Amino acid sequence: MTAEQKYNLALFLATLEDMLCTGYASKRAYSFSPDIVDAAAEPAEEQKEQEPLVSPALQEPVPPDSLSRVANEVYICTACPLHKTRTATVPGEGVEKPIVLVIGEGPGAEENKSGRPFVGPAGQLLDKMLASINLSREKQCFITNVVKCRPPFNRDPQPDEMLSCMPFLARQIDLLKPKLILSLGRISTQWLLQTDEAISRLRGQWKDYHGIPFLPTYHPSALLHNEMWKRPAWEDLKTLKARLQELEK
């Protein structure tokens, strides 16, 4: 194509662009200089250099993390085999800035139906335990589990399942910023403290979990099966209450 043909083509395209964009043809000054024709014929190259490498949608700022976002991600999570047998996901519930974060091992049969943590007989006992030291899930607590989907037949969650689910709990702790953590039972306590020490030795002793005071006690479902553990569990609750009173000062 000769320079003049290129120019005529550029002029036609520019006029067409004006007509489409503004409804009339602007009076642009064009020259037959081959340089100008070349410049007019190659704006696409210049534009290409200025085009972003990723789509504008991907450049939008990432929204801040939130409990509902964690819950939504749990809802669609397939990171471990527990997703295959779950009915409902159980991300946890409670207040957004809890004094106490209560952590169990995993949802049971009732929780798997309702999508809410600790709603079966063990949950009712937990509510009574909390109420005995003036706490409730509606006012001062957030209740969740290490794994958010029910292990089949109420078996213990496996280490690889807890590992897969751990980022959700880590994000919840980061968002909730609880003053204290109450860990219920052997599985959650041993996992979070990365120890194999018996719960009978760990319970009632203040530990540290990433800078947050952490108190292990028996799981309410264990208390339902073993009356002998109710007294030490009550002692643990008194230990928790004493720490709460210190916080209030």
- Name the residues that contact ligand SF4, by CB under 6 A: 74, 77-80, 82-83, 89, 147-149, 161, 164-165
- Please state, as a whole number, how many other Cβ atoms lie within 10 Å of the Cβ of residue 87: 14
Q: Least distance from C-beta 211 to ligand SF4, angstroms?
A: 24
Contact 181, 215 (CB under 8 A): yes
Helix (H, G, I), strand (E, B) or coil at 123: helix
Q: Least distance from C-beta 123 to ligand SF4, angstroms?
A: 19
Residue with tokens 């003036």: 134
| C-alpha count within 13 angstroms, C-beta hemisphere, residue 26 | 10
112 versus 190: smaller Cβ distance to ligand SF4: 112
Q: Least distance from C-beta 146 to ligand SF4, angstroms?
A: 9
Residues 6+ apart with CB under 8 A from 75: 89, 91
36 versus 163: smaller Cβ distance to ligand SF4: 163
Q: Where are the alpha helices (DSSP H) in 66-211?
A: 67-75, 109-114, 121-132, 159-176, 186-193, 199-202
Q: Least distance from C-beta 145 to ligand SF4, angstroms?
A: 9
Q: Which of 140, 137, 138, 142 is nearest to 176 (CA)?
A: 142
Residue 10 CA to its chain's centroid (Å)? 54
164 versus 189: smaller Cβ distance to ligand SF4: 164
11 versus 79: smaller Cβ distance to ligand SF4: 79
Q: Least distance from C-beta 89 to ligand SF4, angstroms?
A: 6
13 versus 170: smaller Cβ distance to ligand SF4: 170
